[in-house]
Structure 1
Amino acid sequence: MDSHPAGEVRPPIHLLASESDMVASLALQTEHRFPVVAAMLLEEIERAELHEADTLPETAVTIGSQVDFVDEKTSQLRIAELVMPAMANIAEGRISILTPMGAALYGLTAGQSIDWPDLDGNERRIRILRVRQPSGAEPPAAA
Protein backbone atom coordinates (compact mmCIF):
# COMPACT_ATOMS: atom_id res chain seq x y z
CA MET A 1 0.00 0.00 0.00
CA ASP A 2 1.39 3.39 -0.98
CA SER A 3 0.85 5.78 1.92
CA HIS A 4 1.58 8.90 -0.15
CA PRO A 5 -0.77 10.96 -2.32
CA ALA A 6 -0.98 9.89 -5.96
CA GLY A 7 1.36 11.86 -8.16
CA GLU A 8 3.54 13.12 -5.33
CA VAL A 9 7.20 12.94 -6.30
CA ARG A 10 9.38 12.03 -3.36
CA PRO A 11 13.05 12.96 -3.29
CA PRO A 12 15.65 10.32 -4.10
CA ILE A 13 17.17 8.67 -1.06
CA HIS A 14 20.56 7.09 -0.50
CA LEU A 15 21.21 4.25 1.95
CA LEU A 16 24.06 2.02 3.00
CA ALA A 17 23.32 -1.43 1.60
CA SER A 18 24.39 -3.18 4.82
CA GLU A 19 22.36 -0.83 7.02
CA SER A 20 19.25 -1.05 4.83
CA ASP A 21 19.17 -4.84 5.34
CA MET A 22 19.30 -4.35 9.11
CA VAL A 23 16.56 -1.68 9.05
CA ALA A 24 14.36 -3.80 6.75
CA SER A 25 14.70 -6.73 9.18
CA LEU A 26 13.81 -4.45 12.09
CA ALA A 27 10.75 -3.14 10.21
CA LEU A 28 9.59 -6.69 9.45
CA GLN A 29 10.11 -7.78 13.08
CA THR A 30 8.08 -4.85 14.42
CA GLU A 31 5.40 -4.77 11.72
CA HIS A 32 2.70 -5.98 14.14
CA ARG A 33 3.48 -3.20 16.69
CA PHE A 34 4.27 -0.36 14.25
CA PRO A 35 2.46 -1.30 11.02
CA VAL A 36 2.38 2.21 9.49
CA VAL A 37 6.02 3.06 10.23
CA ALA A 38 7.20 -0.41 9.18
CA ALA A 39 5.37 -0.03 5.86
CA MET A 40 6.88 3.45 5.35
CA LEU A 41 10.40 2.18 6.04
CA LEU A 42 10.06 -0.82 3.75
CA GLU A 43 8.64 1.40 0.98
CA GLU A 44 11.53 3.87 1.35
CA ILE A 45 14.17 1.10 1.37
CA GLU A 46 12.61 -0.42 -1.74
CA ARG A 47 12.95 2.83 -3.72
CA ALA A 48 16.37 3.81 -2.32
CA GLU A 49 19.65 3.89 -4.18
CA LEU A 50 21.90 1.52 -2.23
CA HIS A 51 25.58 2.30 -1.67
CA GLU A 52 28.71 0.93 -0.13
CA ALA A 53 30.34 3.20 2.49
CA ASP A 54 32.74 4.75 -0.04
CA THR A 55 30.01 5.78 -2.52
CA LEU A 56 27.36 7.05 -0.07
CA PRO A 57 26.87 10.83 -0.33
CA GLU A 58 28.41 12.33 2.80
CA THR A 59 25.24 14.36 3.47
CA ALA A 60 22.94 11.28 3.47
CA VAL A 61 21.12 10.54 6.73
CA THR A 62 22.10 7.13 8.14
CA ILE A 63 21.75 5.53 11.56
CA GLY A 64 23.91 7.65 13.87
CA SER A 65 23.75 10.80 11.72
CA GLN A 66 23.03 14.10 13.43
CA VAL A 67 20.52 16.07 11.38
CA ASP A 68 19.51 19.73 11.44
CA PHE A 69 16.03 20.06 9.91
CA VAL A 70 13.11 22.46 9.79
CA ASP A 71 9.45 21.62 10.22
CA GLU A 72 8.15 24.00 7.55
CA LYS A 73 4.66 24.16 9.10
CA THR A 74 6.00 25.63 12.35
CA SER A 75 9.38 26.94 11.06
CA GLN A 76 10.88 25.14 14.06
CA LEU A 77 14.53 24.15 13.71
CA ARG A 78 15.32 20.77 15.22
CA ILE A 79 18.58 18.94 15.69
CA ALA A 80 18.33 15.21 16.15
CA GLU A 81 20.36 12.04 15.93
CA LEU A 82 18.78 9.11 14.08
CA VAL A 83 19.17 5.96 16.20
CA MET A 84 18.01 2.37 16.62
CA PRO A 85 14.99 2.03 18.96
CA ALA A 86 16.99 0.95 22.03
CA MET A 87 19.03 4.20 21.88
CA ALA A 88 16.06 6.55 21.38
CA ASN A 89 15.55 9.37 23.88
CA ILE A 90 13.52 12.30 22.57
CA ALA A 91 14.59 14.54 25.48
CA GLU A 92 18.21 14.05 24.40
CA GLY A 93 17.40 14.53 20.70
CA ARG A 94 17.76 10.87 19.69
CA ILE A 95 14.94 9.88 17.30
CA SER A 96 14.19 6.21 16.66
CA ILE A 97 14.19 4.91 13.09
CA LEU A 98 10.82 3.34 14.08
CA THR A 99 9.00 6.70 14.37
CA PRO A 100 7.34 8.57 11.50
CA MET A 101 9.97 11.34 11.80
CA GLY A 102 12.85 8.85 11.91
CA ALA A 103 11.52 7.04 8.84
CA ALA A 104 11.10 10.38 7.06
CA LEU A 105 14.69 11.49 7.72
CA TYR A 106 16.29 8.16 6.78
CA GLY A 107 18.22 8.35 3.51
CA LEU A 108 17.53 12.00 2.71
CA THR A 109 20.41 14.37 1.98
CA ALA A 110 21.03 17.98 2.98
CA GLY A 111 18.82 20.37 1.01
CA GLN A 112 15.98 17.91 0.41
CA SER A 113 12.39 18.24 1.64
CA ILE A 114 9.74 15.58 2.08
CA ASP A 115 6.08 15.54 3.12
CA TRP A 116 5.52 13.05 5.89
CA PRO A 117 2.76 12.29 8.39
CA ASP A 118 3.41 13.24 12.02
CA LEU A 119 2.30 11.09 14.99
CA ASP A 120 -1.25 12.46 14.57
CA GLY A 121 -1.36 11.59 10.86
CA ASN A 122 -1.11 15.21 9.67
CA GLU A 123 1.13 15.87 6.67
CA ARG A 124 4.23 17.87 7.55
CA ARG A 125 6.96 19.12 5.23
CA ILE A 126 10.42 18.75 6.68
CA ARG A 127 13.55 20.17 5.08
CA ILE A 128 17.05 18.87 5.81
CA LEU A 129 19.53 21.68 6.44
CA ARG A 130 22.67 19.83 7.50
CA VAL A 131 23.85 16.27 8.15
CA ARG A 132 26.82 15.31 10.31
CA GLN A 133 28.05 11.72 10.26
CA PRO A 134 28.94 9.84 13.45
CA SER A 135 32.53 10.14 14.65
CA GLY A 136 34.83 7.85 12.78
CA ALA A 137 32.32 7.39 9.96
CA GLU A 138 33.35 10.38 7.87
CA PRO A 139 33.99 9.39 4.27
CA PRO A 140 37.67 9.61 3.28
CA ALA A 141 38.71 13.01 1.94
CA ALA A 142 39.30 13.22 -1.79
CA ALA A 143 43.01 13.09 -2.59
Structure 2
Amino acid sequence: MKLSEELQTAHIVDEEEMPSDVIRFNSNATVAFESGVEKKIQIVIPMDKDFKNNKISILTPLGSALFGYSKGDTVLWDFPSGKQNIKIIEVEQEATLKDIDMAI
Protein backbone atom coordinates (compact mmCIF):
# COMPACT_ATOMS: atom_id res chain seq x y z
CA MET A 1 0.00 0.00 0.00
CA LYS A 2 2.78 2.41 0.97
CA LEU A 3 4.73 1.62 -2.21
CA SER A 4 1.62 2.35 -4.28
CA GLU A 5 1.30 5.74 -2.56
CA GLU A 6 4.97 6.52 -3.24
CA LEU A 7 4.57 5.64 -6.92
CA GLN A 8 1.78 8.22 -7.27
CA THR A 9 4.38 11.00 -6.92
CA ALA A 10 7.12 9.28 -8.96
CA HIS A 11 8.71 10.94 -11.98
CA ILE A 12 9.84 8.86 -14.96
CA VAL A 13 13.28 9.81 -16.29
CA ASP A 14 15.75 8.29 -18.74
CA GLU A 15 18.59 6.23 -17.26
CA GLU A 16 21.11 8.88 -18.38
CA GLU A 17 19.26 11.55 -16.37
CA MET A 18 19.11 9.51 -13.17
CA PRO A 19 21.75 10.49 -10.58
CA SER A 20 24.02 7.56 -9.78
CA ASP A 21 23.33 7.78 -6.05
CA VAL A 22 19.57 7.14 -6.34
CA ILE A 23 18.38 3.68 -5.30
CA ARG A 24 16.57 1.81 -8.08
CA PHE A 25 16.36 -1.77 -9.37
CA ASN A 26 19.67 -3.63 -8.94
CA SER A 27 21.22 -0.84 -6.86
CA ASN A 28 23.57 -1.91 -4.10
CA ALA A 29 23.02 0.15 -0.98
CA THR A 30 24.74 0.25 2.38
CA VAL A 31 22.26 1.25 5.05
CA ALA A 32 22.53 1.89 8.78
CA PHE A 33 19.69 1.09 11.17
CA GLU A 34 18.95 2.87 14.45
CA SER A 35 20.49 -0.10 16.27
CA GLY A 36 23.85 0.78 14.70
CA VAL A 37 23.85 -2.23 12.39
CA GLU A 38 25.07 -1.54 8.85
CA LYS A 39 24.04 -3.83 6.02
CA LYS A 40 24.79 -3.92 2.29
CA ILE A 41 21.78 -4.98 0.23
CA GLN A 42 20.67 -5.07 -3.39
CA ILE A 43 17.11 -4.11 -4.41
CA VAL A 44 15.82 -6.56 -7.03
CA ILE A 45 12.64 -7.68 -8.76
CA PRO A 46 10.73 -10.33 -6.75
CA MET A 47 11.90 -13.29 -8.84
CA ASP A 48 15.58 -12.38 -8.21
CA LYS A 49 15.34 -12.17 -4.42
CA ASP A 50 17.98 -14.15 -2.53
CA PHE A 51 18.15 -13.35 1.16
CA LYS A 52 21.39 -15.33 1.64
CA ASN A 53 23.11 -13.03 -0.86
CA ASN A 54 21.46 -9.84 0.51
CA LYS A 55 19.21 -9.44 -2.55
CA ILE A 56 15.85 -8.15 -1.36
CA SER A 57 12.67 -7.69 -3.34
CA ILE A 58 11.26 -4.26 -4.06
CA LEU A 59 8.04 -5.66 -2.57
CA THR A 60 9.53 -6.13 0.92
CA PRO A 61 9.06 -3.35 3.47
CA LEU A 62 12.79 -2.49 3.36
CA GLY A 63 12.99 -2.63 -0.44
CA SER A 64 10.06 -0.31 -0.92
CA ALA A 65 11.29 1.98 1.89
CA LEU A 66 14.59 2.67 0.15
CA PHE A 67 13.51 2.82 -3.50
CA GLY A 68 14.02 6.31 -4.97
CA TYR A 69 16.06 7.72 -2.08
CA SER A 70 19.72 8.78 -2.31
CA LYS A 71 23.02 8.54 -0.51
CA GLY A 72 22.85 10.63 2.66
CA ASP A 73 19.07 10.44 3.00
CA THR A 74 17.42 9.25 6.19
CA VAL A 75 14.16 7.42 5.67
CA LEU A 76 11.52 7.00 8.37
CA TRP A 77 9.58 3.88 7.52
CA ASP A 78 6.78 2.04 9.26
CA PHE A 79 7.86 -1.61 9.33
CA PRO A 80 5.62 -4.35 10.76
CA SER A 81 7.78 -4.20 13.91
CA GLY A 82 7.41 -0.40 14.22
CA LYS A 83 8.87 2.81 12.81
CA GLN A 84 12.61 3.02 12.19
CA ASN A 85 15.03 5.56 10.77
CA ILE A 86 17.29 4.13 8.08
CA LYS A 87 20.34 6.12 6.95
CA ILE A 88 21.59 5.49 3.41
CA ILE A 89 25.38 5.39 3.66
CA GLU A 90 26.37 4.42 0.11
CA VAL A 91 24.70 3.62 -3.24
CA GLU A 92 26.35 1.83 -6.14
CA GLN A 93 24.83 0.81 -9.46
CA GLU A 94 25.32 -2.53 -11.16
CA ALA A 95 27.03 -2.30 -14.53
CA THR A 96 24.48 -2.72 -17.32
CA LEU A 97 25.06 -4.32 -20.71
CA LYS A 98 24.95 -0.81 -22.15
CA ASP A 99 27.80 0.26 -19.81
CA ILE A 100 29.85 -2.78 -20.84
CA ASP A 101 29.27 -2.14 -24.56
CA MET A 102 30.38 1.50 -24.16
CA ALA A 103 33.61 0.41 -22.41
CA ILE A 104 34.54 -1.95 -25.23
**Bucket of the pairwise TM-score, normalised by the shorter protein:** 0.7 to 0.9
- Picking from 12, 26, 43, the partner of 1:64 is 26
Q: Deviations over 1:59-102 (max 9, x none)?
A: 0101100001101x201101000011111111210011011100
Q: Deviations over 1:46-70 (max 9, x none)?
A: 1223311111111010110000110
In the other structure, the counterpart of 2:92 is 132
- C-alpha distance in 1 between matches for 2:79 and 2:39: 14
- Picking from 78, 88, 91, the partner of 2:39 is 78
Structure 1 residue 118 displacement after superposition: 2.2
TM-score (norm 2): 0.87
Note the residue ranges of structure 1 that are not aligned, 5 or more in a row: 1-38, 139-143
State the structure with bigger RCO (CA 8 A, min sep 6), 1 or 2.
2
- C-alpha distance in 2 between matches for 1:94 and 1:105: 13
Note the residue ranges of structure 2 that are not aligned, 5 or more in a row: 100-104
Sequence identity percentage: 24
- C-alpha distance in 2 between matches for 1:57 and 1:44: 19
In the other structure, the counterpart of 2:77 is 116
In the other structure, the counterpart of 1:25 is none
Q: How many residues in Structure 1 have an aligned counterpart in Structure 2? A: 98
- C-alpha distance in 1 between matches for 2:55 and 2:27: 10
- C-alpha distance in 2 between matches for 1:110 and 1:127: 8
